[in-house]
Amino acid sequence: MVKIRIKNLSKEFTVYTRGGVKIQGYNNVDFEVKKGEFLSLYGHSGIGKSSLLKAIYRTYTTTSGDIIFTKEDGTTVNIAKCDEKDIIELRKTEIGYVSQFLKVLPRISALEIVAAPLIEKGESEKVAKIKAKELLDFFGIKEELFNVSPLTFSGGEQQRVNIAKELIAPKPFLLLDEPTASLDYANTMKVIKQLQKLKENNVTMIGIFHDQDDLKTISDKIYDFALKKYVEV
């Protein structure tokens, strides 16, 4: 089953602070990802990879083209053109997003942040916090930091909390924008290991990796933004 189909997608930005000048983000992007596959986006910085992920998550609108997404019930929705209420529902139940930066409210602890997605799915607070502790420990977050706001953490620690928050109760489709960019080798391998487990459970993913070895380790397909085609894994 094709989980997502990107058809002739283009994005143009208007810079109003420069007199409305138009800047091309990306154009004529065309690929598909089947259920359970991991597709990596490849290309130089500034070519539009992160912008495309934001278009799929619909924090960016598109200029033209279609994003045909198949929901878990088998019905499809065109993310490029659907209503905001449909997007909100997709984010709640179908699509997860790991950005490069942790965005949370102050004074909320790392433990509460990671446990929250499980609680939202109906798990008890007690069980959710036990699982959150296990995942934070797996990613090398010290126990004395569990009840501290991650806004006080280092960049690498914040990113590990960010990843744990999305992986504790993964949605069927996951977008990853350089999830290992701030991590050392050991923690990068831990993230790769968790992503491989998600693949085994049929989670579909599109990701951007800075390191080509990471990209090749996890990918089923690699889409080259410059060439507009799949390249060898």
Cα dihedral across residues 98, 100, 105, 111: positive or negative: positive
> Which range marks the domain in which residue 88 is found?
2-94+171-231
Count of CB atoms within 10 A of residue 76's CB? 12
pLDDT digits (tens, 9 = 90+) for 108-166: 999 999 999 999 999 999 999 999 999 999 999 999 999 999 999 998 899 999 999 99
Residue 14 has pLDDT above 80, yes or no: no
Which tokens sit at 85?
């209420």
Q: Is 113 part of any domain?
A: no
* Confidence check: pLDDT of 176 > 70: yes
Token pair listed for 89: 């529902």
Whether the CB-CB separation of 150 and 104 falls below 8 Å is answered with yes
Determine what percent of the chain is predicted with pLDDT higher than 70: 98
Q: Could you tell me the CATH number of the domain that includes residue 48?
A: 3.40.50.300
The residue among 47, 49, 25, 48 whose CA lies nearest residue 39 is 49
Contact yes or no for 223/41 (Cβ under 8 A): yes
Residue 144 lies in a domain: no
Confidence of residue 12 (pLDDT cuts 50, 70, 90): confident
Q: What's the whole-number average pLDDT of the chain?
A: 92
**Is pLDDT of 50 > 90?**
yes
> Among residues 198, 173, 174, which one has the least CA distance to residue 162?
174
Adjacency order of strands within the sheet including 21-34? 21-34, 2-15, 64-70, 76-78
Query: For residue 204, is it within any domain?
Result: yes
Does 48 have pLDDT greater than 70? yes
pLDDT at res. 233? 67
Given a cut of 90, whether residue 182 has pLDDT beyond it is no
Residue 88 lies in a domain: yes
Q: Domain total for the chain?
A: 1
Q: Kindly tell me if the per-residue pLDDT of 203 is higher than 80.
A: yes
pLDDT value of position 99: 86
In a domain, 62, yes or no: yes
Q: Supply the angle between the helices 125-138 and 110-120 in degrees, to the nearest 10.
A: 130
Residue 222 pLDDT greater than 90, yes or no: yes
- Bigger pLDDT: 16 vs 26: 26
Distance from CA of residue 166 to its chain's centroid?
Answer: 8
Sheet strands side by side (includes 95-98): 95-98, 173-177, 204-208, 38-42, 221-224, 229-231
In this model, does residue 107 exceed pLDDT 80?
yes
Neighbouring CB atoms inside 10 A of 107's CB total 9
Please tell me the least confidently modeled range out of 7-21, 39-53, 114-128, 195-209.
7-21
**Tokens representing residue 115 in the block:** 């446990």
Banded pLDDT at 61 (limits 50, 70, 90) = very high
